[in-house]
Amino acid sequence: MGEALPAAGIDEARQRAVARALRDFLPGRAVLWQEEDTRPYECDGLTAYRSVPMVVALPETTDEVQRVLRLDPLARVAVVQPGVRNAAISDMAAPFGLYYAPDPSSQIACTIGGNVAENSGGVHCLKYGLTVHNVLRVRGYAMDGEPVDFGGEALDTPGLDLLALMIGSEGLLAVATEITVKLLPKPLAARVVMASFDDVQKAGDAVAAVIAAGIIPAGLEMMDKPATHAVEQYVGAGYDLDAAAILLCESDGIAEEVEDEIARVKTVLERAGATRITVSRDEAERLKFWSGRKAAFPAMGRISPDYYCMDGTIPRKRLGEVLNFIGAMEKKYGLRCPNVFHAGDGNLHPLILFDANDADQLRRTEAFAAEVLEKCIAVGGTITGEHGVGVEKIDQMCLQFGAAELALFHAVKRAFDPQGLLNPGKGVPTLARCAEFGRRHVHGGQLPQPGLPRF
Amino acid sequence: MLAAFQERIREAAARGAPLRLRGGGSKDFYGGALEGEVLDTRGHAGVVSYEPTELVITARCGTRLDELEATLAANGQMLAFEPPRFGADATLGGCVAAGLSGPRRAAAGAVRDFVLGARLLDGRARELSFGGQVMKNVAGYDVSRLLAGSLGTLGLILEVSLKVLPRPAAELTLQLELSEDKALEALSRWAGQPLPISASAWRGGLLGLRLSGAPSALQAAAKKIGGRPVDPAQTGRFWSGVREHADAFFAGDAPLWRLSLPSQVPALGLAGEQMIEWNGALRWLRTRADAAAVRAAAQRAGGHATLFRAADKAAGAFTPLSPVLLRLHRELKAAFDPAGIFNRGRLYPEF
């Protein structure tokens, strides 16, 4: 991380040939190749990784990839193009009392195509599932140019479940052009309990206690004190700023059922040592309680020039241990790291605050993040719950998987894309890269480059 | 045990001799040809880890499904996809490999939706581990879910981690008299409303609906839906009859078809008797009608038809794949099992 990937080395003759070939079937203005035009496409939201593309091909208008092709309330499906925003699907389904369940915090901006690529979750996925549980079909093109359907409108398809393989594959296997999602009936009522704890471990134990009581809340989220302080300044969600951690626990269903469940949740949380409990009184207050959680990432942008969002998943019972580890890393690297946590499903989003203009902070952030991801693996978790591997976490793939698994991933890739044309270099590291990483990597919590001056 | 499995696989691969991966054999009837020497997985059994508050159980392939479900029930939990056992000897490995789900599927999800991780032996006898014991994991391709329904064609599933759920606080079964058309229409309409319907089964003008959840939610929903409550003493047997195919509908020797369709599709009007589940998305059909006609009708409706139980499966168990999908299947098969030894012909005759 930190250095731009080599942008140079673009073969001009090749660039001209590719641009010309694309212009055969795209209008001239849709094909960009001059550096001033391609530069804006060198990175996504994580600006630390950059690579100027050789050629950029744009849809003629965004309308070409953002159409809703069908919304069928009786079949409870929406058929959309990949550029349709996640939240737009629920907005369109709302008049029929339906919605699309996965709701990543970025749902007002993120697209369903990206959700399919990363198997995105959201704050309600413990009860309602991830993208893989809510998509019926991905239609697109295989790399031989043939149109292909993965999944269908029935609940299963004959043969191997290639839809499961496509979802979360980071665009490495085929090109998606149309996605059919399931729509669910919108619960009639929803209320959220906000509970304060004077200790993060107690909050983690409270989550286990809720599950042990046989309750699957519609949402179950945790934020630590640095996170609540950051968002409170930004949105004023009414969080308890004295608490070491707060839990947000939502119940949904019919009104009577919600009342019953909220009462049970309150009892469990009180027994688990909650120091303060507030229940949303109306829809406005419920949305206000959630607004802080949903604004956690932008709120970090207000208190720090840059933030680096991690995405490990851990068994819930190891939460205290992992948070203590992150606390120790904050001291070790001299960087702050508020935490937001999809507590229900163990997906942790530590947010390292840094200044990308300071090369040393960037290096420390990188080392910090790498140690946390390795800790996630060590406690039986994973380096990415829903944000994907891309190029950013590719070295940690070498730690999570052995050579045989990586070899099989490459074989799966070859089965779909024999020439390796789709998103080359992403998702799965080569064995050579892992060997090189292994030589650089020092186990036992030592820095990859112990000689570098820190702080 | 593992070493013995690996030895068998290496030896079979060297000879190019097919191996038939088999647990309790309760689903031998399902799918295509049974080829090769049996490799019995039952010796590799037992729960590896289970922590109710993590909502995950990990067990070896040979673990008996009834024992696994009893362990969960003792902790107030369940396999929410209600896998059919089709026999007391059914194992976890077979359950995942067959990929079959029971009455709760339309509400809760299928086997594949609950698979979190798996260990397997591939065709080179390599022990591989994918996914894990956590709910969210996008590191690498989702190979563990791919194993669900693969009928043992990709490898020997050694161990599986499954998400489990609490058993509902209460259940209630309603019975309504409805024609096929009216039942299908009502099921799709109810499925679009926030009602706690966890299973549906229509046969011969009678619709059984199971509601699961908080008692208050069941009472409110029952009032809205109507019909008459079934004596709780009868409901267990009714739903296990549907799940395990012990219901009288499944007796006799007429071929049994499994039609998987978009739930809102109206009655297909095919000859024979029907049982409808999953809000209309699963239609069991007993018919001697021409296989091509049944398949064509299912495909026209946007679904597919499986010849589930039949003395003669010359028509193929599963709907044939499109050329592009068949190519991808073959390539994937070669990636996992280059010598083509595992359960050859069980899914499709081509591999």
This model of the complex carries an ipTM of: 0.97
Find chain B residues with C-beta within 8 A of A156's C-beta.
99, 110, 149, 260
Find chain A residues with C-beta within 8 A of B281's C-beta.
154-155
Q: How far is the C-alpha of A359 from the C-alpha of A369, rounded, in Å?
A: 15
Pairing of strands A276-279, A189-197: antiparallel
pLDDT in tens, B136-162: 899 999 999 999 999 999 999 999 999
Structure tokens given for B326:
């068949």
Pairing of strands B19-22, B37-40: parallel
From A215's Cα to the closest Cα of chain B, the distance in A is 7
From B17's Cα to the closest Cα of chain A, the distance in A is 22
Residue A116 has a pLDDT of 97
Chain A residue nearest residue B265, CA to CA: A75
Q: Which of the four pLDDT bands, split at 50, 70 and 90, describes residue A360?
A: very high
Q: Which residues of A409-440 are buried (b: 16+ CB within 10 A; e: fewer)?
A: bbbbbebbbeeeebbeebbbbeeebbeebeee
- pLDDT of residue A453 exceeding 80: no
Chain B residue nearest residue A141, CA to CA: B324
Q: How far is the C-alpha of B243 from the C-alpha of B238, rounded, in Å?
A: 9
pLDDT in tens, B175-230: 999 999 999 999 999 999 999 999 999 999 999 999 999 999 999 999 999 999 99
Find chain A residues with C-beta within 8 A of B129's C-beta.
401-402, 405
- Specify the range with the lowest mean pLDDT, choosing from A398-402, B15-19, B82-86: A398-402
Selecting from A130, A149, A208 the residue whose C-beta is nearest the C-beta of B136 gives A130
Range ranked top by mean pLDDT from A32-41, A251-260, B254-263: B254-263
Find chain B residues with C-beta within 8 A of A183's C-beta.
192
The values of phi and psi at residue A63, to 5°, are -60, -25
How far does Cα B27 stand from its chain's mean position? 11
Q: Which of the four pLDDT bands, split at 50, 70 and 90, describes residue B281?
A: very high
The percent of residues in chain A predicted with pLDDT above 90, rounded, is 73
Residue A449 has a pLDDT of 42
Residue B192 has a pLDDT of 96
Give the HSE-up count for residue B123: Cα atoms under 13 Å, Cβ half-sphere.
Answer: 26
Find chain B residues with C-beta within 8 A of A72's C-beta.
264
Contact B55 A211 (CB under 8 A): yes
Q: How far is the C-alpha of B67 from the C-alpha of B73, rounded, in Å?
A: 10
Q: How far is the C-alpha of A24 from the C-alpha of A60, rounded, in Å?
A: 14
Residue A105 has a pLDDT of 83
Asked whether the beta carbons of A78 and A71 are under 8 A apart, the reply is yes
A83 contacts chain B (CB < 8 A): no
Q: Which residues 11-30 in chain A show a CB within 8 A of chain B?
A: none
Which has the closest alpha carbon to B280: B248, B303, B297? B303
Structure tokens given for A359:
């090369």
Selecting from B139, B188, B193 the residue whose C-beta is nearest the C-beta of A384 gives B139
Maximum pairwise Cα distance, chain B = 65
Mean pLDDT across chain B, nearest whole number? Answer: 97
Beta strand residue intervals within A359-409, DSSP E: none
Pairing of strands B156-163, B170-177: unpaired
Q: Which of the four pLDDT bands, split at 50, 70 and 90, describes residue B298?
A: very high
Asked whether the beta carbons of A403 and A432 are under 8 A apart, the reply is no
Selecting from B56, B132, B217 the residue whose C-beta is nearest the C-beta of A382 gives B132
Find chain A residues with C-beta within 8 A of B260's C-beta.
154-157
Structure tokens given for B133:
């014991």
- pLDDT of residue A443 exceeding 50: no
B229-to-B225, B252, B272 alpha-carbon distances in Å: 11, 30, 29
Q: Which of the four pLDDT bands, split at 50, 70 and 90, describes residue A442?
A: low
A253 contacts chain B (CB < 8 A): yes
From A413's Cα to the closest Cα of chain B, the distance in A is 9
Instruction: Give A443's contacts (C-beta < 8 A, 6+ positions apart).
Output: none
